[in-house]
Amino acid sequence: MSATVEHWAPAGRILDLRRTSTRPALAPAPAGAVSLAMGEPDFPTPPEVVAAAERALRDGHTHYADQSGLPALRAAIADRLPGPAARRSPDEVLVTHGATAALTATIFGMIGPGDRVVIPEPTYSLYADLVTLAGGTVDFVPLDGSLHWDLDRLASALPGAAMVVFSNPANPTGIVHRDDELRALGRLLEGSRTVVVADEAYHRLVYPGYTFRSALEIESLRERTVYVQTFSKTYAMTGWRVGYLAGPAGLVEVAARVHRTMNGSLNTAVQLAALRALELPDTAIEPMLAAYRRRRALVVDELAGAPGLDLTPPEGAFYGFVRYAAEAPASEVTRDLAERGVLVRAGSEYGPSGQGHVRISFAASEPDLRTGIERLREYFAADPM
Ligand SMILES: Cc1ncc(COP(=O)(O)O)c(C=O)c1O
């Protein structure tokens, strides 16, 4: 008899995750469909970065690296961290397998049974899954009507929380949390031992008229913040799997212990390529940023006035979080839209308040965006439910 999945008894935490997780397994778009579902840049990695990896391999950089990251890469990251006097030492930086492993190392390092983690939502769905897998308790706090933080609700939820996690610029809402919001969070946490995890994966994707502030630039947050960053989005390097975290030495030491236990050291040639990416002038990424600006304008224009649909214009990242008037749950709407040839993500994937929304990604070509949005409009116009 061949063993089936049911034959084996998974760990209790996996059963918890199966029960609570809203993250779909991603599949490629079927023929004829356009995908506005992926949070993945559709540009190639800059050629200088690819060349650096090739050179590293030819030069024999094919062995284990320092488990916290190559010292030269950590030093380059430390030099470039945001914040006024935030010149951290390389010991306060950990190179990780993408932002995913930075978040994993931080959450597994600090959270266990009995620990409550405040997660303003809708937000990137990995955070809640990691907390569940670590045995902690997820405390979702809905955003306000403008998709910014609801400070009153946060004031009630934060006392006693072990951690608060957010993305800024935010996935899936496209919101850039303002300087005054970040300062208010700092005030709410005064005197507490709550750790802040600031996932700033989209920091270079901020649209004209909006100002991005890193949590490391906010004095009242800096000393309690684990800053999470990745090469995936800025440099179109999703497949390279390289990111990092930075924070107070004690927190970094804890995360480093988890990371080397779960992951071991990171591919040496990839780290040398990441170092090359950091050294690139802004002109290397500006064409990508310009394309996202054009696409954002296209999305805002194409959705303006669409009956039954409402989009808060994206302030950063490459997502439009579209509210629809119809009653149907987002999972059903997403399935229907896939049948009509456009893949999007259900807003409910990002937390209970994401119900009634779909997320579209504009990390997709302009023709795909036009086709996808047209199908979206047709669906809601024809079938408002
Ligand atoms: C907010 C946010 N953080 C982290 C990640 C994962 O980044 P990485 O590819 O570096 O693991 C994503 C990917 O979509 C994201 O949207």
Residues 33 and 72 in one domain: no
Atom of ligand 1 nearest to the CA of 238: 9
* CA nearest neighbour of 166 among 184, 180, 148: 148
Residues 204 and 307 in one domain: no
CA of 308 to the centre of ligand 1 (A): 30
CA torsion sign, 40 to 42 to 46 to 49? Answer: positive
* 368 in any annotated domain: yes
pTM given for the model: 0.95
Atom of ligand 1 nearest to the CA of 100: 11
Residues 333 and 221 in one domain: no
Residues 216 and 165 in one domain: yes
Share of the chain above pLDDT 90, in %: 90
* 163 in any annotated domain: yes
Q: Which among 251, 279, 307 is the end of a domain? A: 279
Residues 235 and 353 in one domain: no
- How far apart are alpha carbons 45 and 177 in whole angstroms? 28
Which domain covers residue 356, as residue numbers? 22-45+285-381
- How far apart are alpha carbons 81 and 279 in whole angstroms? 14
- Predicted confidence (pLDDT) per residue in 63-74, tens digit: 999 999 999 999
Inter-CA distances, 36 with 286, 339, 375, Å: 22, 14, 11
Which residues neighbour 355 within 8 Å (Cβ) at sequence distance 6 or greater? 329, 330, 347, 348
CATH of the domain at 336: 3.90.1150.10
Atom of ligand 1 nearest to the CA of 103: 4
Question: In the structure encoding, which two tokens stand for residue 169, read together?
Answer: 């610029």
243 lines ligand 1 (CB under 6 A): yes
Which residues neighbour 29 within 8 Å (Cβ) at sequence distance 6 or greater? 35, 37, 343
123 lines ligand 1 (CB under 6 A): no
109 lines ligand 1 (CB under 6 A): no
Residues 258 and 352 in one domain: no
- How far apart are alpha carbons 277 and 266 in whole angstroms? 16
Q: Which among 279, 301, 325 is the end of a domain? A: 279
The residue nearest atom 16 of ligand 1, judged by CA position, is 171
* 12 in any annotated domain: no
Residues 241 and 104 in one domain: yes
* 1 in any annotated domain: no
100 lines ligand 1 (CB under 6 A): yes
The residue nearest atom 2 of ligand 1, judged by CA position, is 201
The residue nearest atom 13 of ligand 1, judged by CA position, is 39
* 102 in any annotated domain: yes
- Predicted confidence (pLDDT) per residue in 194-215, tens digit: 999 999 999 999 999 999 999 9
Residues 299 and 254 in one domain: no
Judge whether residue 87 has pLDDT over 70.
Answer: no
CA of 249 to the centre of ligand 1 (A): 23
Residues 263 and 302 in one domain: no
CATH of the domain at 146: 3.40.640.10
* CA nearest neighbour of 316 among 167, 183, 182, 185: 167
Mutate to test the pocket of ligand 1, among 23, 38, 96, 171 (most ligand atoms within 8 A of CB): 171
Q: Which among 279, 295, 329 is the end of a domain? A: 279
- Predicted confidence (pLDDT) per residue in 134-191, tens digit: 999 999 999 999 999 999 999 999 999 999 999 999 999 999 999 999 999 999 999 9
Question: In the structure encoding, which two tokens stand for residue 354, read together?
Answer: 């994401």
Mean pLDDT in the chain?
94
- Predicted confidence (pLDDT) per residue in 276-307, tens digit: 999 999 999 999 999 999 999 999 999 988 99
Atom of ligand 1 nearest to the CA of 39: 14
pLDDT interval class at 86 (50, 70, 90) = low
